[in-house]
Amino acid sequence: MKMTLAAGVTLAVGAFFGARCVASSRARAVAAAPTTTASPRAEIELRVPHLKGTITLDGDLDDHGWMGPIARTGAFLGADGTPARPYSDARVTWGDGHLYLALYAADEDVRDAKRAPDGPTWLDDSFHLVFTRGGTVSVIDISATGVVTDARRSGGGALDFSWQSGLHVSTELDGTMNDSADDDEEWSLEIALPLESLGLRGQRGERIGLSIRRCDKPKSAPRSCGSWGEGEPTGVLVLD
């Protein structure tokens, strides 16, 4: 087959630009392809407003401090990701050197063995709080009658139950403690926890990990638990 010089030049130029187009397409494909990077640990932030007004620890939530802007966890969730039954939730604010928490628990049969402080209060109706900051983990269990078990560990060591959080708590119960003959309604805890005991200085923008769990044994159902900030995503408080 005969080919003129002009035709040969045309074919060469076409091949050159065709190769450039292929290379350009490949480059664009590589640039557009997602890169594999380690995802940061999933977190759920609860931004906690500064206290407006005052809070008196009396078990009631009618103080001005609870009426102003506060943080709310919403319903605690069960293992399947749906609202746990019985219902639990938490409200949070901070000020006056303290982190204030109101922990609410619906409960048809409130049980409490009236254990000594730093005893196994988690076996009764109680809330379980875990604060994490740096390599320090602070664990606090509070029963329906306000008995506190607190402990701390650093660097993955064993829990030290000699640590004292300095927590103050008041309780409120709508029902009859340790009496299954009637149906109870609910109980709640109103808590003031010194920020200093958690390693916080009380400055806006400070962060601390927090998970809260509440377990309950209804009259005619197996023991079940609901939580906020436990597992994935992990809970984090941010002081606003």
Give the domain range for residue 76: 47-239
DSSP string over 200-224: ----TT-EEEEEEEEEE--TTS--E
pLDDT at 24 over 80: no
Judged by average pLDDT, the poorest of 8-12, 65-69, 75-79, 210-214 is 8-12
Residue 163 φ then ψ, to 5°: -70, 140
In degrees rounded to 5, what are phi and psi of residue 104? -115, 140
Per mean pLDDT, which range of 21-30, 149-158, 169-178, 225-234 is the poorest? Answer: 21-30
**3 within some domain:** no
Q: Is residue 22 one of the residues assigned to a domain?
A: no
Q: Is 36 part of a structural domain of the chain? A: no
Residue 41 pLDDT: 62
How many domains is the chain built from?
1
Q: Would residue 33 count as lying in a domain? A: no
Which string of DSSP letters, residue by residue, matches 53-121?
S----SS---SHHHHSS-EE--S-B-TTSSBPSS-EEEEEEEETTEEEEEEEEE-SS-----PPTTS-G
- Mean residue pLDDT across the chain: 85
Q: Kindly state whether residue 27 falls inside one of the protein's structural domains.
A: no
Identify the bridge partners of residue 169 per DSSP, sorted by sequence position: 191
State mean pLDDT over 131-137: 95
Q: What is the CATH number of the domain that holds 164?
A: 2.60.40.1190
166 belongs to a structural domain: yes
pLDDT band at 103 (very low <50, low <70, confident <90, very high): very high
Kindly report whether the global pTM for this prediction surpasses the value 0.95: no
- Asked, for residue 172, whether it belongs to a domain, the answer is yes
- DSSP letter at 229? S
**Inside any domain, residue 38:** no
Confidence of residue 210 (pLDDT cuts 50, 70, 90): very high
